[in-house]
A and B are shown apart, each in its own frame.
Chain A
Amino acid sequence: MEINPKIKENLRIRAFYLFFIITSIQVGVGIMGAPMYIFTEAEQDSWLSIIIAFVYVLLVIFVMFRILEQYENADIFGIQVDIFGKWLGKILGTLYIIYFAAALLSVILTYIDVVKVFIFPEISSLIIGVLLISLIIYCIYGGLKVIIGVVFIFFFSAHWLLFLLYEPAIRMELDHFQPFFQASFPELLKGARATAYSFAGFEILLLIYPFIQNKESAKFPAYFGAFWSFGLLLIGTVISIGYFSAVQLKELEWAVLSLFKIVSLPFVERFDYIVVAEWMMVALPNMILLMWAITYGIKRMYKVPQTKTLFITSFILLILIAFMSNHNIIIRLTDLVAKVGFWVVYVYPFILFPIVLLKKRWQRKKESETR
């Protein structure tokens, strides 16, 4: 397995798209439910927790870039094999892929759950699953360029939803935020940790980095992408806290979606239906990127054609979707993904970084000795 994969020039993407990739994969289904989880931990100071989490995310991205910069054109799979050897490296890579698969499953299941709760209580999970997965397959067949096109266009076609938040925003009760700074520091950290599921996803940077054309300008889009999703989560949470009472918010599973219930225009009475349907454009890029990460990772490590992995994974996912329609199971899966994700996404790079540095230093030393 090559550590630095050679990517053809026509498959490369401009660094500026990294912004959309990072934002799209971070903002998915997580943001719909995040306010409740954060609020249970940090109460009215949730916004502080989110800021702490954002700063931490920036730090993680910084470390990721430092790791990637040690190599010429490597991704996480190559780096792991380089550091831990062929066997351990591949095992770690496989674990990474399994994490992606679990995240994908949880995203699809959560979206199906939302559709069932808000629009069609009676519909079978499998039908929506087939719809979503057929779109994923169709998109991935077009290759990375089409995937990023979808990410790019859906980014713009979903952001109009923000304007709808105007209505709940003007109904906010500002005393819901007072008194300030009530949460203790551990509570704030716990609140920050509750954002793990919503903020996760930017680890795709470790996979997509070799595809970037102008790597020297890749940093700003990545940081800015993280900032954008931070902004969205902050807006969603702050409006939720201001709009709902504390008691209500602790019980409200999809607070951000519930915000849209109040929105009403002369020609559309209730917007939450449209928002849930429109959320497909938010969730789909997420699913597509995760699926791409799975198929590409397996191709990198085991040289299995991406089409094969795509169909096998889709098939397995469909079976799982058919059986895991219970709400509690979905919640447990999401919790599990959030927990594992915390270690994989937020902690692991800090472990990897010193090892990479040590190894590189040792290599350099060896080179100079032989010379």
Chain B
Amino acid sequence: MRKNRRRRNTQTQSIFPIKIDKLEKLLKDKFEKNPDLIFSTFEIGGKNVCVFYLSYQVKTERLDNFLLKPLLNISDLSTPNILNEIPIGGGSTTDTFEEILEDLLIGNVFVYVEDEDKAVFYLIVRKESRDISKSENESVVLGPQIAFSESLITNLNVVRWSIRSTDLVLEKIMIGKRAKTEVRIIYMKSIVNDKHINTMRQRLQDLDLDKVDDSHVLSQLIEDSSSTIFPQYYLTELVDRFSYTVSQGRIGVLVENNPQAILAPSTIFSFLESTEDMYMRWNAGSFLRILRFIAMFISFILTPLYVAAVTYHYELIPPRELITIGQSRAIVPFPPIIEALFLEFLIELLREAGARLPSKVGQTIGIVGGVIIGQAVVQAGLTSSILIIVIAFSALASFTAPSYEMGTTVRVIRFPMILLAGMFGLIGIMYGLCFLVIHVLKLKSLGEPYLSPIYPFRWDDLNKVLFRPPYAYQDKRFLSLRPKDLFRFKKSEAVKKHDIDE
């Protein structure tokens, strides 16, 4: 099937039969100044045979043992005979030059017997990749720790093992005009909504770009709104999260050379749920999830509230606290908004520096942050000590987001909120909140509303999003995704109770 498709795509004429030195010249011209093309010619049984490949793309040991050695022993050289005698599976033939070039790049070894009308090639690819390791960017306490690696083959292997079903489709799409990249759309064909698959396929196929750099870039190329600050697809490196999401009826996209998979459609709640919520007992899981919602809210509302209250609305603060704040602020020469922006900026610098520093000197950040922020800033009269608590609180809260991107988004949103609070007090904060709600309502991810199932409201989906009930009550898949198969099991059987002593 693969070959048929190729035939249709390439309209170029066959270059065979050809003399070997002519073929060599053609290839060397293409690989000008590239010393890596190995082109060796043998004379076996009176016939000239050439073998060519890119040296580092091929496993030399295998090549020697299973291709070259048997090849030299073949008595009657012809294309069908080679295919018959060489003890490597998956050999194919080709007759176009374009195909030869394309396949050379991904580690094929070509064998051509002079004056035959086809060349034989075998995939003896050597691909170096990192071993799969523990997830570092999304860390979880419970559950599998395995993360995707840069190798697509490894990733597919891992995915296949985690969803062992013939329902699982791993659709292949090649993207890129100058340099092709393999992209896989992965879904459960008996559950997924066809509309989503079609949209995703369409968006990927319509891409007109030279090369896919990264799955983050790809996700931004296929997103619904590019002006917003909110991430619209969850990018994960956790295999269990990937397989959990795919088996829910969503789509996963794996990109070659990238350890991050794209999950679509994602809602705002996807970014706040962790697979750990599933592994915990339901009450603890629900607690953690709700905790995260509160944390997100706190992280962009707390500092603005401080700024608003201290600048305009002292009346909000209880008298005793007001005295403390007053004393602490007495030595600070700036208005609260400058004070808050200064400290927020400092925290952001710390975070950014921490992310960039090599891990060997990483602990410097801890010392700098602890000593300078904890002590010196207050003593120097730059900020009040209350503000430090407020800022630390909101910074900490923003790090609870399971998605690093969502955490960043929330931290960035905080700055305009602080400005609004500094300008218009509580009215400014309210303005910011209203704006955010309207903004988030307008967003879509793969054509699905970003706030779903809150709006459009689906009562049945709330138990998967806002909290986590015991598994017996999660009998339905996401109604808002309109899956082909809504029910996972019969709820009446799952919650059936026995009478006493039965």
Interface residues of A (CB under 8 A from B): 14, 16, 115, 119-120, 123, 127-128, 131, 135, 138-139, 142, 146, 149-150, 152-154, 157, 266-270, 273-274, 276-278, 280-281, 284
Assess whether B402 is interfacial by the CB under 8 Å rule.
Answer: no
Interface contact B455-A153, CB-CB below 8 Å? yes
What are the residues of chain A within 8 A of B451 when measuring CB–CB? Answer: 149, 153
Contact with A274, one of B312, B426, B439, B455 (Cβ below 8 angstroms): B426
Q: In the complex, A119→B430 CA distance in Å? A: 13
Contact with A135, one of B321, B424, B429, B438 (Cβ below 8 angstroms): B438
What are the residues of chain B within 8 A of A149 when measuring CB–CB? Answer: 441, 451, 455-456
Assess whether B358 is interfacial by the CB under 8 Å rule.
Answer: no
Interface contact B316-A270, CB-CB below 8 Å? yes
Assess whether B454 is interfacial by the CB under 8 Å rule.
Answer: yes
Assess whether B315 is interfacial by the CB under 8 Å rule.
Answer: yes
Assess whether B249 is interfacial by the CB under 8 Å rule.
Answer: no
Q: In the complex, A123→B423 CA distance in Å? A: 11
B201-220 residues with Cβ-Cβ distance < 8 A to A are none
Interface contact B435-A135, CB-CB below 8 Å? yes
Bits for B405-426, please: 1 = Cβ < 8 Å to A, else 0.
0000000000000000000111
Interface contact A131-B424, CB-CB below 8 Å? yes
Residue of B nearest to A264 (CB): B318
Q: In the complex, A135→B457 CA distance in Å? A: 23
Assess whether B442 is interfacial by the CB under 8 Å rule.
Answer: yes
Q: In whole Å, how far is A283's beta carbon from the nearest beta carbon of chain B?
A: 10
Bits for B448-460, please: 1 = Cβ < 8 Å to A, else 0.
0001001111000
* Residue total for B at the interface (Cβ-Cβ under 8 A): 28
What are the residues of chain A within 8 A of B454 when measuring CB–CB? Answer: 153
Contact with B442, one of A14, A142, A276 (Cβ below 8 angstroms): A142
Q: In the complex, A146→B454 CA distance in Å? A: 13
Q: In whole Å, how far is A233's beta carbon from the nearest beta carbon of chain B?
A: 23
Interface contact A152-B431, CB-CB below 8 Å? no
What are the residues of chain B within 8 A of A274 when measuring CB–CB? Answer: 316, 426
Secondary structure call for the A interface: helix
What are the residues of chain B within 8 A of A280 when measuring CB–CB? Answer: 427, 430-431, 434
Assess whether B355 is interfacial by the CB under 8 Å rule.
Answer: no
Given contacts A146-B441, A281-B434, 18 further A-B contacts (CB under 8 A): A14-B456, A16-B457, A119-B313, A119-B425, A119-B426, A120-B427, A127-B424, A135-B434, A135-B435, A138-B439, A146-B442, A153-B454, A267-B318, A268-B316, A273-B315, A273-B426, A274-B316, A277-B426
Assess whether B317 is interfacial by the CB under 8 Å rule.
Answer: yes
Q: In the complex, A278→B429 CA distance in Å? A: 10
Q: In the complex, A273→B313 CA distance in Å? A: 8
Bits for B98-118, please: 1 = Cβ < 8 Å to A, else 0.
000000000000000000000
What are 11 sample pairs from A and B whose C-beta atoms fall under 8 A apart?
A123-B424, A135-B434, A135-B438, A150-B438, A152-B457, A270-B316, A273-B313, A273-B426, A277-B429, A277-B430, A280-B431
Interface contact A266-B438, CB-CB below 8 Å? no
Pick the most buried of A150, A268, A277: most chain B CB atoms within 10 A of its CB. Answer: A277
Q: In the complex, A152→B456 CA distance in Å? A: 9
What are the residues of chain B within 8 A of A139 when measuring CB–CB? Answer: 438
Q: In whole Å, how far is B104's beta carbon from the nearest beta carbon of chain A?
A: 50
What are the residues of chain B within 8 A of A270 when measuring CB–CB? Answer: 315-316
B284-320 residues with Cβ-Cβ distance < 8 A to A are 312-313, 315-319
Q: In whole Å, how far is B57's beta carbon from the nearest beta carbon of chain A?
A: 50
Residue of B nearest to A277 (CB): B426
Interface residues of B (CB under 8 A from A): 312-313, 315-319, 321, 424-427, 429-431, 433-435, 437-439, 441-442, 451, 454-457
Q: In the complex, A280→B456 CA distance in Å? A: 22
Q: In the complex, A142→B228 CA distance in Å? A: 14
What are the residues of chain A within 8 A of B429 when measuring CB–CB? Answer: 277
What are the residues of chain A within 8 A of B457 when measuring CB–CB? Answer: 16, 152
What are the residues of chain A within 8 A of B431 when measuring CB–CB? Answer: 131, 135, 280
Q: In the complex, A184→B222 CA distance in Å? A: 69
What are the residues of chain A within 8 A of B424 when measuring CB–CB? Answer: 120, 123, 127, 131
Q: In the complex, A284→B437 CA distance in Å? A: 12
Interface contact A115-B427, CB-CB below 8 Å? yes
Q: In the complex, A142→B315 CA distance in Å? A: 38
What are the residues of chain A within 8 A of B439 when measuring CB–CB? Answer: 138
Interface contact B435-A138, CB-CB below 8 Å? yes
Q: In the complex, A152→B441 CA distance in Å? A: 11
What are the residues of chain B within 8 A of A115 when measuring CB–CB? Answer: 427
Residue of B nearest to A140 (CB): B438
What are the residues of chain A within 8 A of B312 when measuring CB–CB? Answer: 119-120
Q: In whole Å, how far is B446's beta carbon from the nearest beta carbon of chain A?
A: 16
Q: In whole Å, how far is A85's beta carbon from the nearest beta carbon of chain B?
A: 40
What are the residues of chain B within 8 A of A153 when measuring CB–CB? Answer: 437, 441, 451, 454-455
Q: In the complex, A138→B430 CA distance in Å? A: 15
Q: In whole Å, how far is B267's beta carbon from the nearest beta carbon of chain A?
A: 13
Interface contact B315-A278, CB-CB below 8 Å? no
What are the residues of chain A within 8 A of B316 when measuring CB–CB? Answer: 268-270, 273-274
Interface contact A142-B427, CB-CB below 8 Å? no
Interface contact B318-A269, CB-CB below 8 Å? yes
Pick the most buried of A131, A142, A274: most chain B CB atoms within 10 A of its CB. Answer: A131
Q: In whole Å, how far is A9's beta carbon from the nearest beta carbon of chain B?
A: 14
Interface contact B317-A269, CB-CB below 8 Å? yes
What are the residues of chain B within 8 A of A138 when measuring CB–CB? Answer: 435, 438-439
Q: In the complex, A228→B430 CA distance in Å? A: 25
Q: In whole Å, how far is A214's beta carbon from the nearest beta carbon of chain B?
A: 14
What are the residues of chain B within 8 A of A120 when measuring CB–CB? Answer: 312, 424-425, 427
| In the complex with contacts A120-B312, A120-B425, A268-B434 CB distance below 8 A | no
Q: A-B pairs with the 9 shortest C-beta distances?
A: A277-B426, A149-B441, A149-B455, A277-B430, A142-B442, A280-B430, A139-B438, A269-B318, A270-B315
Residue of A nearest to B428 (CB): A131
Residue of B nearest to A269 (CB): B318
Interface contact A284-B426, CB-CB below 8 Å? no
Q: In whole Å, how far is B54's beta carbon from the nearest beta carbon of chain A?
A: 52
